[in-house]
Amino acid sequence: MEQHLQLPNSHVFVGSLSETFSDWFNRQHYSQVFVIVDEHTESFCLPIFLEQIGKIPAPVIAKVPAGEAHKNTATCETIWQWMLNAKLDRNALVVNLGGGVIGDMGGFCAATWKRGVDFIQVPTTLLAMTDAAIGGKLGVDFHGIKNIIGVFKEPVAVFADPVFLKTLPERTLKSGFAEVIKHAVIGDPELWTLMPPKWPSPNYSTDQWIQLLHASIAVKISIVTDDPLEKGRRMLLNFGHTFGHALESCFLETSDPLTHGEAVAIGMICESMLSNKRDEITARLSSYFPHRPIPPSAFPAIWKLMLQDKKNSSGNVRMALPDELPFSMKTVDISPETMVRSLSFYNGLW
Ligand SMILES: NC(=O)c1ccc[n+]([C@@H]2O[C@H](COP(=O)([O-])OP(=O)(O)OC[C@H]3O[C@@H](n4cnc5c(N)ncnc54)[C@H](O)[C@@H]3O)[C@@H](O)[C@H]2O)c1
Ligand SMILES: [Zn+2]
């Protein structure tokens, strides 16, 4: 089974690369193929990628260190240096084979190389398949500020093949589920029922993965197509992230930082506390993710971090919440007192 989704300027293929890639590639006319990997996707994903895609002109492989710590302009320089060495021309194709870090950074390098060469996303984490690879937001961190340098540019295609999920550490896989749960809440009641109500790790068949990925990606596509430059409806995608980003930063300096998905999961619980969906959402999220108490001494710092968000006005924090109607959203402004109530609600759950 293979599924195909359409964005205004790009295609998203969900299914085995062996069924999707060659057909697509043979219809293009690329002069060179330049594959960006990190040290983990080089071992776990590159052999599968090369085996599945069939015959292509000898690709250049550019390997960079793994992890968010390397999503920066220094690593971009390394990638651009590889491009220079490979004499990469305007008709080349860049392949980003990795999680959201490789997708965001490799896409940014491709979008800026010679004012832009085509690139495809071949996401290898659940988060990247369902979220980061879709929507054309590219970039890197700078002076510790996430994604502060970047551009909007669509890949020419995205190939989401669930085969790559098999080698993901459980914590990374689960973290990706936070975004799938988010997509279900903001846009697809059926997706909600496709997911197992409780962790442990779902023992999905390939077809079940394809169905789940397809539904989750479809929600993101529908929202970004409506609002490609983040002026309105795209705010829905921020559900869980107003609290989530602040919590992610706040736990960064601890001995066990939260993953992005874990932080967003807590964020969705805190934000849905203010909605009528509280019980349903809280039950699902607390079965997937461990409880991480948030020290009340950190509440003022969390408020400060939340205030930095660009959508706020007049000292309050603006966010999108699940609304009265099933699977619809509303925008609210919250005060510091409401923030304290939400975090205390989360702390009191266990
Ligand atoms: N552009 C967007 O719209 C958007 C949306 C959400 C997140 N993001 C970005 O995505 C990034 C996070 O993405 P992520 O969670 O995929 O992190 P990641 O890219 O760092 O991948 C997580 C870890 O898993 C490893 N890995 C990747 N695929 C693997 C596989 N198949 N098997 C084994 N190991 C594998 C990676 O090497 C890394 O160590 C952040 O930088 C975030 O800003 C971007
Ligand atoms: Zn997210």
153 lines ligand 1 (CB under 6 A): no
The pTM score is 0.93
| Residues 133 and 102: beta-carbon distance below 8 Å | no
Ligand 1: centre distance to CA 15 (Å)? 19
Measure 252 CA to ligand 1 centroid, in angstroms: 17
pLDDT band at 326 (very low <50, low <70, confident <90, very high): low
230 classed as catalytic: yes
27 is catalytic: no
* 92-139 pLDDT tens trace: 999 999 999 999 999 999 999 999 999 999 999 999 999 999 999 999
pLDDT on residue 197? 77
Q: Are residues 145 and 187 in the same domain?
A: no
Using DSSP's 3-state secondary structure scheme, residue 223 falls into helix
- Which residue range(s) make up the domain with 123? 3-168
At residue 177, the pLDDT reads 95
| Domain match, 189 and 300 both | yes
Which atom of ligand 1 is least distant from the CA of 259?
15
| Residue 37 sits in the same domain as residue 162 | yes
Query: In this structure, what token pair is assigned to residue 253?
Result: 């300096």
Mean pLDDT of 282-292: 93
Which residue of 125, 141, 163 sits with most ligand 1 atoms within 8 Å of its CB, as the best mutation to test the pocket? Answer: 125
Among residues 40, 70, 71, 137, the one annotated as catalytic is 137
Closest ligand 1 atom to Cα of 66: 37
Q: Please check whether residue 202 is in contact with residue 176, taking contact to mean a CB–CB distance below 8 angstroms.
A: no
Cα–Cα distance measured from residue 350 to residue 336, given in angstroms and rounded to the nearest whole number: 23
- How many structural domains compose the chain? 2
Clarify whether residues 138 and 193 are in a common domain. no
Same domain? For 194 and 324 the reply is yes
Domain match, 151 and 234 both: no
Pair (134, 269) in one structural domain: no
* Residue 208 is assigned to a structural domain of this protein: no
How many angstroms separate the CA atoms of 10 and 6, rounded? 6
Tell me whether residue 211 is in a domain. no
Q: What is the pLDDT of residues 139-148, one digit of tens each?
A: 999 987 888 9
Work out the pLDDT band at 310, boundaries 50, 70, 90.
low
Q: What is the DSSP letter of 128?
A: I
Q: What is the CATH number of the domain that holds 308?
A: 1.20.1090.10
pLDDT, average across residues 152-166:
97
Are both 143 and 236 inside the same structural domain? no
CA distances from 235 to 25, 108, 156, 182, 220 (A): 34, 23, 24, 12, 11
Q: What is the mean pLDDT of the chain?
A: 92
The reply to whether 114 and 136 lie within a common domain is yes
| CA of 264 relative to ligand 2 center, distance in Å | 7
DSSP 143-183: TTEEEEEEEE---SEEEE-GGGGGGS-HHHHHHHHHHHHHH
Main-chain dihedrals φ then ψ at residue 312, nearest 5 degrees: -80, 160
Contact criterion met (CB below 8 Å) for 98 and 74: no
pLDDT tens-digit profile of 1-45?
788 898 888 999 999 999 999 999 999 999 999 999 999 999 999
pLDDT in tens, 209-268: 999 999 999 999 999 888 777 666 788 899 999 999 999 988 887 899 999 999 999 999
The reply to whether 222 falls in a domain is: no
d(CA 161, CA 336): 43
**Looking at the structure, do residues 53 and 110 belong to the same domain, yes or no?**
yes
* Residue 209 belongs to some domain of the structure: no
Q: How confident is the model at residue 54 (pLDDT cuts 50, 70, 90)?
A: confident
Please say whether the dihedral angle defined by the alpha carbons of residues 165, 166, 167 and 173, taken in this order, is positive or negative: positive
pLDDT at 169 over 60: yes
Mean pLDDT over 274-292 rounds to 90
| Whether residue 157 sits in one domain with residue 14 | yes
